[in-house]
Amino acid sequence: MPPADRPPPEKMMFQLNLRRRGISDQRVLRAMDGIPRDVFVEPADRDDAWLDTALGIACGQTISQPFVVAYMTERLELRDDNRVLEIGSGSGYQAAILSRLCRQVLTIERFRVLADRARSRLEQLGCDNVEVMLGDGFDIPAEAGQFDRILVTAAMEQIPDALTARIEPGGLLIAPVGPPSGRQTLILLRRTTAGLVRKELIDVRFVPALPGIAREL
């Protein structure tokens, strides 16, 4: 067994793999190191929690591959005073990472089961600056306001104007854009004084973003 003051080998490889794949932001790496991914996976998958792979969760959804979580987080260029919107809470893992890097996170989930489980896990880890809302990511309540950063964790065929309108001046949005089956491309939008500037990043694969609140199973 490794000494008590050293992380287990699988967690050491987890960090090493992120660095090898180009994640260099030390704040992001510390957040990824500090949030236990095994808390967010299904019990049967805990032995695989530190592998760099997506894993299935309830309601036919997934917890994203750690590299993709770190990559998207790094590209958000988060600051301590940022207010962040996440569309698609899933297991709550991405919101937990965000919570360590910004002032406030609002994460919206259409499945009640997932929202309740994510809320419980986040409370357990002391992520007190995260609010989990059961809702429709395509129809965000007006009172939610504007956001410095927006992160979409489900595939959209196009980014709706109603969502880009929520980006504060100087703010960023990242979303996987493309067909619901197959690969999508991560798109980065930056709001400048001249308007929205679009940049294509890497190809990814996400479950589709769907409108409405899911009916109870």
Q: Is 120 a catalytic residue?
A: no
CB-CB neighbours of 214 under 10 Å: 17
**Alpha-carbon span 108 to 133, nearest angstrom:** 5
**Residue 141: Cβ-neighbour burial (10 angstroms; 0-12, 13-18, 19+):** exposed
**Alpha-carbon span 89 to 183, nearest angstrom:** 21
Out of 24, 64, 99, 120, pick the active-site residue.
Answer: 64
E strand spans, the chain? 55-56, 62-63, 83-87, 104-109, 130-134, 147-152, 167-177, 184-192, 195-204
3-class DSSP state of 188: strand
Amino acid symbol at 140: I
Residues 188, 173 contacting (CB under 8 angstroms): yes
Active site residues: 64
